[in-house]
Amino acid sequence: MTLWHGRFSGQMDQAMADYTVSLPFDRALAAEDLLGSAAHVQGLVHVGLLTPDEGASLLEALETVGQEMASDSFLFDPSDEDIHTAVERRVTEIAGPTGAKLHTGRSRNDQVATDLRLWTKRELTELQADLLELCRVLERSALDAGMTYLPGYTHVQRAQPVLLAHHFLAHGWALLRDVDRLRECRERLDVSPLGAGALAGSSLPLDPDFVAARLGFARRFENSLDVVADRDFVAEALFDLAMIGIHLSRMGEELVLWSSEEFGFCTLDDGFSSGSSMLPQKKNADAAELARGKTGRLIGNLTGLLVTLKGLPLSYNRDLQEDKEPLFDSVRQVRLGLRAMAGAYATLAIHPETMQRAADGGSIAAIDLAEYLVLQQVPFREAHAIVASLVRKSIDEGSALDELVAAHPLLGVEAAALLAPGVAVTRRTTPGGAGPIPVAIQLDRFKAAIMNAEN
C-alpha cells in the first residue's frame, strides 16, 4: 500500500514502480532517517501534537526498526518505494494506530533533505580525517626526503632543482585546501529543513528550531520553498570531491611517470602495484592510474547533478532524487582513493641518486648564472641573453657549460662553481622557495596547519 492510497483507486504500474523506486540506493540513509524521525517525534511531543505516551511508543518502534536494520533482519516490502516509506510502514506495524501519527506535519520533501544533510555532514567529517591522514603521510615523506633534490619541471621540461621535500609539500598544501573546502561546505549545509513540510510549512504549531537543535544542526531553514528545493550542498560537496579527485589524479600521474623506467625516480611497493597477466617483467602503477581514471567519474557526478538542477522550478521535484547516487558514489570513491594513495606514498621507495643525477645535468642552474650577473649590476635581460648564448654554444659545440662560464669575462670560475652538483638548490633561499632554509620553515608551518585543521 502506498502512502497516498486514499487519493488513488488504481495500483501503480510495475514499470512505473521499477523506474521510480529509490530504495536500492537510499537505504544508505536509514540511520539518518531514523534520527530525523526520532527528532520529529520529540518535536511533536514538545508542541503537544503527540502525548508523551504516544511519543514514547513511536520512539520505541523507531528503536526496534534501527535494531532490525543493524542486524539485517529488517524485511523490506515490495511496496517500499524508498527508505522513508519503509521506516514508516514498519513503525506502524510495530506501534499500531499511533504509527499513523508519525508523519504529522512532515513531508518526505523536508524529510529527505534532512536525511541527506545529516548524511553529508557526517561523511564529509570522516573524509576530512582521511585527507589529513594523507597530509600526514606527505609530511613524513618530506621529512624523510632530507636534502634529496630533483629537477622541478615546467612544461615537463627540467626547469630548476627543488628539494624533494618541497615537491611533496606542494601536494600537501593542495590537500589542506581540500580540507578547508570540506569544512566550509559542512558549515554551509548545517541547516535543518525539518518543519518545511512539502513546501510551505504547516498550520500545525511545529517548532523547527527545536528539532534543528535536537538533530545537532547549527540552525533551521529560513525559507520552506528554498530548503526543500536546495541541493546546493550536494553540488558543492561533489565539486569538493572532484577537486580532491583531481589532486589525487595529478599525484597519481606523477607516480606513473616517476616509477617508469624512463624516469626511474621511485619504485612502488609490491602492495601498491600490480603485475601483467602476460608480460612477466611488468610492475604497473594501477592504483595511481585509477586515481587518474576515476576522477573522470567524479567530474561526471558533479556535472550530471548540475544539469539535473539547472532547469528545476521551485520547489521539490522528483528529479531531486537523482542527487543521491552521484553523491554516494563520489564519497565512496574519494575515500578509497585517499586511502590507496596514502598507502602508495607511505611505502614508496625513492631513488635519490637518479633524481639528483637528473637535476645535476646540463644547464638546469642557468638562472643562477643570470642572477650572478644581476648581482654584478648587469640588467637581467642582458644577463639572460649572455647565459642563453653560452647554453646555445655549449649545445652547438658540444662543449661543457662550466668551462665556457669559467672562461667568460663577466662570469669566471666563481660563477662556474654554481653549476656544481647540488649547489643550485641550496641557493633558493626566499620564503616559500625550494631550498633547505625555506623548506625547513615550510615544513614547520605545514605541521602547524595540519594540527590546526585537526582541531
Active centre residues (catalytic): 155, 276
Q: Which is nearer to ligand ARG, 113 or 179 (CB)?
A: 113
Contact with ligand ARG (CB under 6 A) among 64, 321, 347, 426: 321
Per-residue interface string for the shown chain with ligand ARG, residues 4-43, x marking contact by CB under 6 A: ------------------x---x-----------------
Compute the least distance from the CB of residue 113 to ligand ARG, in Å.
8
Please name the residues in contact with 147: beta carbons below 8 A apart, sequence gap of 6 or more: 163, 436
CA–CA distance, 334 with 130 (Å, rounded to integer) = 9
Do the Cβ atoms of 285 and 268 come closer than 8 Å?
yes
Judged by CB, which is closer to ligand ARG: 108, or 171?
108
* 155 scored as a contact of ligand ARG (CB under 6 A): no
* Among positions 106, 108, 121, 247, the unique one binding ligand ARG when judged by CB under 6 A: 108
CA dihedral 173, 178, 182, 188 (to 10 degrees): 90
Shortest reach from residue 225's CB to ligand ARG, in Å: 14
Asked if 114 is part of the footprint of ligand ARG (rule: CB under 6 A), the reply reads: no
Of residues 2 and 399, the one with the C-beta less far from ligand ARG: 2
- Asked whether the CA dihedral 204, 209, 215, 220 is positive or negative, the reply is positive
The residue within the footprint of ligand ARG, chosen from 57, 109, 224, 394 (CB under 6 A), is 109
Closest C-alpha among 80, 81, 104 to residue 90: 80
Task: Return the residue of 38, 61, 238, 320 that touches ligand ARG, per CB under 6 A.
Answer: 320
**Segment contacting ligand ARG by CB under 6 A, of 150-158, 160-168, 313-321, 335-343:** 313-321
DSSP string, 1-15: --TTGGG-SSPPPHH
Residue 230 sits in the site that holds ligand ARG (CB under 6 A): no
Residue given cell 652538483 in the structure block? 421
Of 112 and 241, which has the nearer Cβ to ligand ARG?
112
* Separation between Cα atoms, residue 194 and residue 208, nearest integer Å: 6
If phi over 0 gives left and psi between -120 and 50 gives alpha, with beta otherwise, what is residue 432?
Answer: left
Q: Which of residues 242-301 bind ligand ARG (CB under 6 A)?
A: none
For position 310 contacting ligand ARG by CB under 6 A, the verdict is: no
Measured between alpha carbons, how far is 247 from 178 in angstroms, rounded to an integer?
9
Q: How far is the CB of 361 from ligand ARG (least distance, A)?
A: 59
Are 330 and 296 spatial neighbours (Cβ–Cβ below 8 Å)?
no
Among 108, 104, 88, which Cα is nearest to 40's?
104
* Chain positions contacting ligand ARG, by CB under 6 A: 22, 26, 82, 108-109, 112, 316, 318, 320-321
